[in-house]
Amino acid sequence: MFARSICNIRPLVAARAGLATTSCRAFAATTASSSAPASGKVQPKEPVLIHSAKKNIAQSPWKMNFLVKLARGRWLPDALAQMKFSPKGRSEEVAKILQRGADIAKIYHSVMPEELIVKEIAVTKGAAHKRMRIMGRGRTGFGYRRATHVSTTLEVVDFEALMASAKTSEQRRVWKKRQELVLSLKKAQPGAAEAVVPAA
């Protein structure tokens, strides 16, 4: 639209000035080529995402949300450590979901658990079964036994990008140490690529 309006104006201006005019097609091609991005520009690589989920866990969504907050946004070994030492009743279920995602990443992408972070972990409402609730004065009411759906998304870590975007030197040092751990595990035998839970 911009090139068309310019093509309509340029002949009138040039005719008044007594100058030769260029064709509209050539002018439109010039503007398009100048606005197009360079072909040699390096496109950022797409992140590798791994999804895992479990439905109808016998826990209310309100209570489960407190548990998954411990793992959201963390490095995967740290998230597994949080689930291991958490006193919550369903921490083992969440740990199994995270471990399943790590197994999928190892099978299909040849990625170790130390190369993953918990990008997303979501809690949604599952089935709710209506039950009788005993009340005072011989009366009864209704209660619900609620269930929860938990879905997780793991992402392969780009250590260089995380170190570049770190706000403090301590964060940069932590990600550098984790990168060195991954490199040392890759140099070792394939059996050393099991999930490593850091000491508390």
For the stretch 135-147, pLDDT in tens is 999 999 999 999 9
Instruction: Tell which residue, 145, 150, 50, 144, has the closest CA to residue 92.
Output: 150
**Would you give per-residue pLDDT tens digits along the chain (200 residues)?**
444 444 554 554 444 444 444 444 444 444 444 444 555 554 667 889 999 999 999 999 999 999 999 999 999 999 999 999 999 999 999 999 999 999 999 999 999 999 999 999 999 999 999 999 999 999 999 999 999 999 999 999 999 999 999 999 999 999 999 999 999 999 985 554 454 555 54
The whole-angstrom separation of Cα 33 and Cα 113 is 45
The whole-angstrom separation of Cα 39 and Cα 105 is 33
Taking each helix axis from N to C end, the angle separating 91-109 and 61-68, rounded to the nearest 10 degrees, works out to: 60
Taking each helix axis from N to C end, the angle separating 91-109 and 76-85, rounded to the nearest 10 degrees, works out to: 150
pLDDT reported for residue 43: 60
Cα 116 to Cα 16, 111, 177, 193, distances in angstroms: 67, 8, 15, 13
What are the pLDDT digits (tens) for 25-47?
444 444 444 444 555 554 667 88
The whole-angstrom separation of Cα 71 and Cα 121 is 8
In the chain, the domains with their CATH numbers are 49-193 (3.90.470.10)
What are the φ and ψ backbone dihedral angles of 69, each rounded to 5 degrees? -60, -25
